[in-house]
Structure formats: structure tokens, C-alpha cells
Amino acid sequence: MKRVDFISPAARLEDALKQLEASWMATKESWNDPISQKVEDDFLVPLHGQVRSMLDAVNKMALVMRKAEQECLHPRERNVSL
């Protein structure tokens, strides 16, 4: 049975979020006015929260799927490391 990989794409998304945050911090050094604050408040802050929530959900789903995969294995396969 092919395993479902939720963790790798989630890790790439988390890395992208960190890169976005680092780029934004660098941008704020030269762009610090009401418009930049609006961009941060209206787009970046909500995006951060949404991505964090999604990453939490993916981690929970990965645990559920791992358990389901283990339960679907034939008893002889359960002791084999995948």
C-alpha cells in the first residue's frame, strides 16, 4: 500500500511562510507607512494564522492516516518498519 505523505508538502509550505515573513521584515525597513501597515494587517497577518491552522490540521491528519494505515495492514505486516 502506498503511504500518503502530508508532511513533506506541509514542511515546504512552512518554509515558504518563513521566507515570506523574512522578506516582509526586510521590506518593512524601507516601506513603513500606513499602506504597508494595511497590507500587513489585511493580508499577511490573516495568512499567517490560516497557514498555522492548516499546518496544525495537517499534522493531526497525518497522525490519523498513519494509524489508519497501520490498522489496515495484515497482522504479519504490522511489525515491519515502513
37-61 pLDDT tens trace: 999 999 999 999 999 999 999 999 9
Percent of the chain with pLDDT over 70: 91
Burial 31-40 (b: 16+ CB within 10 A, else e): eeeeeeeeee
Residue 78, pLDDT score: 66
- Which amino acid is residue 63, in one-letter code? L
Residue 77 predicted with pLDDT over 70: yes
3-state SS, residue 73: coil
